[in-house]
Structure 1
């Protein structure tokens, strides 16, 4: 856009200087710097849209921003993932894996809450699914003791209890949970 237009007095005006654009009379083109405001990662879709706008050359619509190698992705985030624009979660995966060695499930839940609240991992759901049993072990143990049934297995209800505790911890860590 800055290549063909300038922004003056709250409206766009065609450039008067620069090289003539072949096939378009009275249109001039020049290399120009444009301004794009920063977006906080908590504002998910806007953040990923901005990331695509900065990295994809010559998009003609919002739909073409989601098109990667002929596949149209449902969200800007998935398009960013496919283009490898997001950092991977190896660091956070390693951090939680190391914590499992010596930390209690409660401590692991706290660590997970801190990571998802303040560090913005690219795919927190994958981390949850990988470590949900480790974060829920104490609840399983407690249910086995209170029910006097040692055959109780890990299940969705136990995982949901862990998620509720993680949500509470996220509120404590950052004041609100916007994810």
Structure 2
């Protein structure tokens, strides 16, 4: 939690869950293959909704989707999809649920045949976060040429719900880019990571 002397990015407001997410997770470089899959999926579910909605449902999503274990999700069948469609604790969107399954299958293929999901993603930024120096929220883009390139590559492999805006939000969340404002106490901390 922030004290009066330190400044945050304005987007989490004062919601304790949102502030904790901002202070502890957002912008911290994530390199775990499974965790990156989970974050990409959750960003896809967020499309059209506020991120705080997904954050409040994150534990329910983890329960419903076997802790985002792609090995399990890839085997989901029509019956499991129907079970998920009846689960009021998550976002019930058939296309996003089916996209989660399709993406799990692609993730498994990437893990078996290539350098892995994390290495694939981090290669786009040469293995280290891009550190931006924005001073105001209106300077932060919704997407970039790089997020468009990553989105195109993910889609070509079969990932779903990974448009350029979703991918840029994912890049921010996973620390591939540091978009904490320069006035935020987390900018320097995340840069040091």
Which TM-score tier does this pair reach, normalised by the shorter chain? under 0.3
Q: When the two structures are superposed, what TM-score results if normalisation uses the length of structure 2? A: 0.23
Q: When the two structures are superposed, what TM-score results if normalisation uses the length of structure 1? A: 0.24
Structure showing greater relative contact order (alpha-carbon pairs closer than 8 Å, 6 or more residues apart): 2
As a proportion of its length, which structure holds more strand? Answer: 1
